[in-house]
Amino acid sequence: MLAILFMPVLLSAQPSATQLLNDIKRTNAGYLSGVETVSLVNAMEGFGFTMQEREHYRKITEAGHTRLVGEEEGDDISMVGLLNLSADDLAALVNGASRIGTERRDGQRMITLFVDDPDVIESFGDPLPEADDEDDFEDFSFVSMKLWIGAADYLLYHVESTLENDQGAQMEVIFTLSDYERHSGLPLPGQVEVTMKGLGALMDDSELAETRRELEEMMAELENMPEAQRNMILSQMGPQLEQFEQMMEGGDTSFAIKIQDVRINE
């Protein structure tokens, strides 16, 4: 799923698939014209902690398609790595869109793409970020995806994806990209907010009951601790516990990815 983010797209009113793909290639090549290598420091903020990630990329051109590729294993799964779309991927997205339209969002005109063919969407990668227990996520598959692209600057600003598991429970994953800045001509969003709705669907009633019991036992243990120790633990774990409780009640879970440093051609 994350592989479609940060895609620079140029859409005219109702272009043909061929015209649109040519515009995509040309626009992306223009963004990368002054770029040979990119080094990033990203920070994921959420769940009560911040985690940094360093990434390194280089530009390649294959079959007329210019893109960035990760220098190290794993770099292609986040931030600039999400630009790494092949021409075949782009063709599948354009040709697989059931609707192309326009809307106003956040005060600007947006071009929208709506895709409801699960096979097309699945071709862009895993539906959810990696988890410690991959079995929790493997039963989810895409139902639909909608993208909002700026009509004036042709950058991606918002993505909403709906997923469903084998039991028919649905969840939604939302990406909002903001604070775009150009780095040697390459536009990158300063922040990506990720919101997941309906994560409680990952657990059945018995699992929810067991998790609630464990959480209650943990809170009881905290109550029996000295006040200073209890306050220290709550200051560190409080945000995580709060989001976990929201998740169990079917609420939203969110985090942000922020670019802290960008180095071009160094």
Question: What number of residues does the chain have?
Answer: 266
Is the model's pLDDT at 151 over the cut of 70?
A: yes
pLDDT category at 6 given cuts 50, 70, 90 is very low
Using one digit for the tens of pLDDT, what is the confidence trace for 252-266? Answer: 778 888 899 999 999
Backbone angles phi, psi at 172, to 5 degrees: -125, 135
Q: Spell out the SS3 assignment of 60-122.
A: EEECCEEEEEECCCCHHHCHHHHHCCCHHHHHHHHHHCCEEEEEEECCEEEEEEEECCHHHHH
Neighbours of 173 (CB within 10 A): 23
Over residues 130-154, mean pLDDT: 69
Coil, helix or strand at residue 36: coil
36-65 per-position pLDDT tens digit: 999 988 888 776 567 788 888 888 888 777
For residue 139, pLDDT beyond 50: yes
Q: Are 191 and 178 in contact (CB under 8 A)?
A: yes
pLDDT confidence bin for 204, thresholds 50/70/90:
low
Measuring CA to CA, how many Å separate 95 from each of 98, 121, 122, 192?
8, 12, 14, 27
Average pLDDT over residues 94-111: 85
pLDDT greater than 60 at residue 199:
yes
Give per-residue pLDDT as tens, 152-169. Answer: 777 888 989 898 887 788
Q: Specify whether the CB–CB gap between 98 and 114 falls below 8 A.
A: yes
What is the mean pLDDT of the segment spanning 165-184?
A: 88
CA distances from 76 to 20, 32, 170, 182, 237 (A): 24, 17, 27, 20, 31
How confident is the model over 178-202, as a mean pLDDT? 86
Q: What is the mean pLDDT of the chain?
A: 74
Nearest to 39 by CA among 59, 28, 54: 54
How far, in Å, CA of 123 to CA of 16, rounded?
A: 22
Tally Cβ neighbours within 10 Å of residue 95: 13
Give the residue ranges of DSSP H helices in the chain: 17-31, 87-96, 118-122, 205-223, 227-248
Task: Round to whole Å and give the CA distance between 82 and 126.
Answer: 12
pTM over 0.85: no
Q: Which helix (H) or strand (E) holds 196?
A: strand 186-197
